[in-house]
Structure 1
Amino acid sequence: MVGPIGNKFAPIGDPGRQAYEDSLQVFEEVIQAACQQVGIEPVRADQIAVAGEITDQVFRHLIEDDVVIADVSGGNPNVMYELGLRHTTGKLTIQIGEFGQLPFDVNTIRTIQFSRSPRGLIDARNQLERALQVGLLEGPDLLAVTRIFREAQEGAADIELSTPDVTVETSDDDAPGLLDTMDDVERRLAAMADNADEIAAAIEIIGAVTESAGSEVQKAAQSGASNSVRLSLVAKYASDIREPVEKLESQSSEFAEHMESINDGVLALLKMIQSSSPEDRPEGWEAFLDQLISMAESSREGMEGLNTFGSAAEGLGSLSRQLRGPGRKINAAVNNMRKAIATIDSWDRAARSIRKPSEV
């Protein structure tokens, strides 16, 4: 387990002492408790008893251990460095973090968010336990950063935007030209914007239905209704969310497909714009960069809502088998968007690096 360690010897009230106590509380009440339920023993960096260089021991755990749990609350630099190293392995890695303290760099990767209250820590423990059960059974999802790292190791082509001398040559007379590529990219970006609107609409509907159904189930529980009555309410809820959940999954899949189909074109255009002087750049290049930046911002906003649904969806199947299908579809949508947004964020960074800060 990696997380902010703080300083347990600092005076009470000192930020270092508070960081230590906060981290220890999360470790004991969330991580240790969840791990014990699935039969694994968590180890904190400051609890490694073997003599030797602490950084060497930590790195070995990061590379060799089957599971790493990272508390990213506050974006501690050491934690972020260790998390980046771990992501190169492709092994099971689970992130947790206190709500409102998540660093921007990891907000596209599913993170178990918690509030520092008795109920909030219990919910986080239960979510972590489910994540461990699923991860140990099914294995980890391959993150974009892991895939890119492996491709680099295997000698894949370098796609860094800082190499303007790279040119693409083709002898195919039917190969698209610059304007053709820009037109195709712009059309698909517009389609992605439509997908994003549909995704937002589906999320809104699911949220409203969920709130209404939750209220009905709570009333039934308070009135002492039988399990059959509550199951009928769950069945109605499953029926009511079926259509918006299917739309959510299909639209997120289309969004990811559009993104994948134009990624090479977007990278080529960004490289060309970066390597050209402003007067030699194609007409509309500024609008193109603005479109990428806007797309990234709206996608991140949508991902915040999807992350909330993703965490909730993990527990749907345990309530009733009728909710397992919707739960899987919601998880599929979350995974589609997470992978897509990792790529969109790279477009955003490149576009902002070309734009002057005052114009972004």
Structure 2
Amino acid sequence: MVHKPLCFVLMPFGKKSAGGEKPIDFDAVYRDLIKPAVEQAGLEPIRADEEQAGGIIHKPMFERLVLCDFAVADLTTANANVFYELGVRHAAKPRTTVLLYAEGQGRLPFDVAPLRAMPYPIGSRGGPANTGASVKTLVDKIKAARKNLEKDSPLYQLLDGYPDLAHEKTDVFRSQVAYTAELKNKLSEARKLGRDAIYEVELTLGALDDEEAGVIVDLFLSYRGAKAWPDMVRIFDKIDAPLQNTILIREQFAFALNRAGNSEKAEEVLLDLIEQRGASSETYGILGRVYKDRWRTASNEKKPTKAKGFLKQAIEAYSRGFEADWRDAYPGINALTLIHVFDPNDKRISELRSVVEYAVRRKIATGTPDYWDYATLLELGVLSHDRVLSEEHLADLIPRVREPWEPETTADNIQLLADALPNDSEERAWILAVITELRSVAKDKTV
């Protein structure tokens, strides 16, 4: 499943006078110039709905302006909606906005005159003329924007330190998105009751591709909390393309695909995401889980050679995730545990253990620790054969459990370490007690 980057098109609709002898047919400009150029540049064009362009800009419009990877804005006629949308875009994105305007249709307003914009000729019927050359020029400009690291937003160019939009961690996103408090409360209550209650809330919504981003993300993550993987997969295809194309949603879609038994498609989504957006600890962490699950399946099927290959892939994915962001200890502890399973004498273990522990302790010292930080300390305690420390971290972890699959995942990881010990080992006995406690917490969290 290859997702083309999205390009949002900001422009007037229909035929509008721009100060020339004849009105310009902007639908023809889109059809014959902008749309083919965007597609030839390897992007997927999205044009604003005409009814939205003529009135109040809805929240989904703002979301498209912020979430789309690229934008093309036609500044001809100095259309008020287009200029407002351009201002929103420039405030949200430091780069990847391409400007154009029709030649001979009056000057651009003073505020945007200094910006680099591509002129295109207009024919006698009001549509674009010399479309072959104009399309080629626009394709080149869009491709240049894809490669160019320079900022094209005046805000980002002129104001030092003007902030780029940060990609929020999945586990804190729900608490930070802003939308109707009543609906947020309904989903919060539904999560306590389980999948069917969440589905009842979903039925009260309108078309998902027209809903606010915050609602969709919360619904998506609510199904995750209920371990309703098929529902996450189901609603992915129903949501708006710009939101569907975001890193967070695609990562969680792959997460759900893998949990639903479709690891091949999950792997495809994650590799596509890495190719398009680059390495990240979260993406590689989920990819590592895909390979780890394949390793377990092959091991249970008594296919040692196949299992060994998947285990190596899992270690590599988790290691790359930790290398992508040393502050995120989650892929680091997973790499460490699997390396220990693969070869307890591996020279990497001692060094990696120190780095992972430093990373998680620095995270906790910032005052923003979460479940996974204490789960990491627990696994480090088990790896260090320290019963007292492990039990202390278990006590710290339990109050921070949010969803039942979290302690289940930690229990499964620690089980790998217990399985490597002799059955009559005293150490194995207390590790199994830790695992039992984790599974009991997961059961209590499950409806």
Structure with bigger helix share is 1
Q: TM-score, with normalisation over the residues of structure 2?
A: 0.29
- Higher Rg: 2
Q: Higher relative CO (CA 8 A, sep ≥ 6), structure 1 or 2? A: 1
Q: TM-score, with normalisation over the residues of structure 1?
A: 0.35
